[in-house]
Amino acid sequence: MNIAVIGAGYVGLITAAGLAETGQRVICVDDDLRKIEILNSGAIPFYEPGLEELVRRNRQAKRLEFISKLEDAAAECQVIFICVGTPPQESGEADLSSVELVARRISGCARGYHLVIEKSTVPVQTGRRLQKHFAIYGSSSQFQCDVASNPEFLREGSGVEDFFHPDRIVVGVESEKAATLLKEIYQPVLEQTFACPVHDDCGKRSRVPFVVTDINSAELIKHASNSFLAMKISFINMIADLCEAVGANVGKVAEALGMDERIGASFLRPGVGFGGSCFPKDLQAFVRVGEDAGCDFSLLREVERINQRRIDMVVSKIKNELWVVRGKRVGVWGLAFKPRTDDVRSAPALAVIRRLLAEGAVVQAYDPQAMEKAKAEVPGIEYCADAYAAAQGAEALLALTEWDEFLHLDLARVRQSMVRPLIFDGRNMFSRAIMSEHGFEYLDIGSGGSARKPLPDAKQG
């Protein structure tokens, strides 16, 4: 089957390369000529483990090509995935102008039957709008179109693995034909019949659930999933604050909570909060959708508010330790919003750094992948060659992204190079015992080693 994927961003590129790997012929389109140039030179425009190799192999096999003209792809492909960006507007609402522009261009050139699939994260009822759009603007009387929704659940840093081994594939359709085409496209993934490009000895071979529903429900599933995960994170962060205040250990609390199958163990890691290109934006967009529909979405507003207050929490802990921040040298380990990505969009680390700079701190930072992107966002700090350089001469060291490499450092060397060996572990990635052994003052999240609050008075009976 010939498939066009519009948008060579994170979702589009993984989708295009993944589909090509499973045997489809894919034309990936982006109107950013620079991006197309990079892709045609054999590189990829962002860091994602395993993706460069996947793109290279499928280009060589002539199953994957990159072009800039949507009209050329639409002429050859019956199936078109829309994977363009839907960034947030000031109001929190998703900006759908890129989606509309793609639809307009498809309307202007398409002939015959097409299946147009929205994969970008969009608010519920966008599919309806697309259907209406094609009915109004389709310029050829021979143009027939089905619209479908097929939300993506790829996580940055493990997007390639997630493409091949998803928990489920969700499609929102309104015709048998659309459902059949989508099932055919995903058959190798649903049946797990491909040669796994991720694992040498692939043990993840159980059949993938295929959820077929209406378009509105499919769109909503994406927003609801991300909002639920964000809610788990804010919940455990709230519990972490309580643990710290009363002298309990959030690690143990989370572990036991997660053993209840109804709750589940994942997304209960406390820390400096969630970031990235999805959770903050999707949460805001979903709140807008809910409130516009007249529903009470204050629960999700609170999830967002708790997350924003994580930054206040970090800064106040640091200020409490350093007393006067102005002029003090602070080291930062980790800039990306999470490990295994170079993405710094809504990264808590950058928010913390901006606040420290505003307080007059001298900041020096290191990240294994995200330094280039961070430089464009936060120019006023020193970017270091490695983790040791980021600790050198510092009076506090903040670990804000849990990269593996930080777990394998020579701690004696780090300690010796610091003016004051104070580590704030914003991801609970280190062991308190090991840090103490090496002579660090160690602060983490939610272990009530130093309960702040006195016991309440016993009730008078």
Query: What is the set of active-site residues?
Result: 278
Q: How far is the CB of 363 from ligand UDX (least distance, A)?
A: 20
Q: How far is the CB of 229 from ligand UDX (least distance, A)?
A: 6
**Among residues 145 and 240, whose Cβ is nearest to ligand UDX?**
240
**Among residues 250 and 435, whose Cβ is nearest to ligand UDX?**
250
Q: How far is the CB of 268 from ligand UDX (least distance, A)?
A: 6
Q: How far is the CB of 269 from ligand UDX (least distance, A)?
A: 3
**Among residues 157 and 421, whose Cβ is nearest to ligand UDX?**
157
Q: How far is the CB of 265 from ligand UDX (least distance, A)?
A: 9
The secondary structure of the chain, three-state, reads CEEEEECCCHHHHHHHHHHHHCCCEEEEECCCHHHHHHHHCCCCCCCCCCHHHHHHHHHHCCCEEEECCHHHHHHHCCEEEECCCCCECCCCCECCHHHHHHHHHHHHHCCCEEEEEECCCCCCCHHHHHHHHHHHHCCCCCCEEEEEECCCCCCCCCHHHHHHCCCCEEEECCCHHHHHHHHHHHHHHHHCCCCCCCCCCCCCCCCCCEEEECHHHHHHHHHHHHHHHHHHHHHHHHHHHHHHHHCCEHHHHHHHHHCCCCCCCCCCCCCCCCCCCCHHHHHHHHHHHHHHCCCCCHHHHHHHHHHHHHHHHHHHHHHHHHCCCCCCEEEEECCCCCCCCCCCCCCHHHHHHHHHHHCCCEEEEECCCCHHHHHHHCCCCEECCCHHHHHCCCCEEEECCCCHHHHHCCHHHHHHHCCCCEEEECCCCCCHHHHHHCCCEEECCCEHHHCCCCCCCCCCC
Q: Which of 219, 91, 246 minimizes the C-alpha distance to 148?
A: 219
**Among residues 168 and 453, whose Cβ is nearest to ligand UDX?**
168
Q: How far is the CB of 188 from ligand UDX (least distance, A)?
A: 21
**Among residues 73 and 221, whose Cβ is nearest to ligand UDX?**
221
Which residues does 195 contact at the CB level (< 8 Å), separation at least 6? none
**Among residues 200 and 260, whose Cβ is nearest to ligand UDX?**
260
Burial of 454 (0-12, 13-18, 19+ CB in 10 A): exposed
Q: Which residues bind ligand UDX (CB under 6 A)?
A: 152-156, 226, 229, 233, 267-269, 271, 274-276, 278-279, 337-338
**Among residues 85 and 276, whose Cβ is nearest to ligand UDX?**
276
Q: How far is the CB of 437 from ligand UDX (least distance, A)?
A: 27
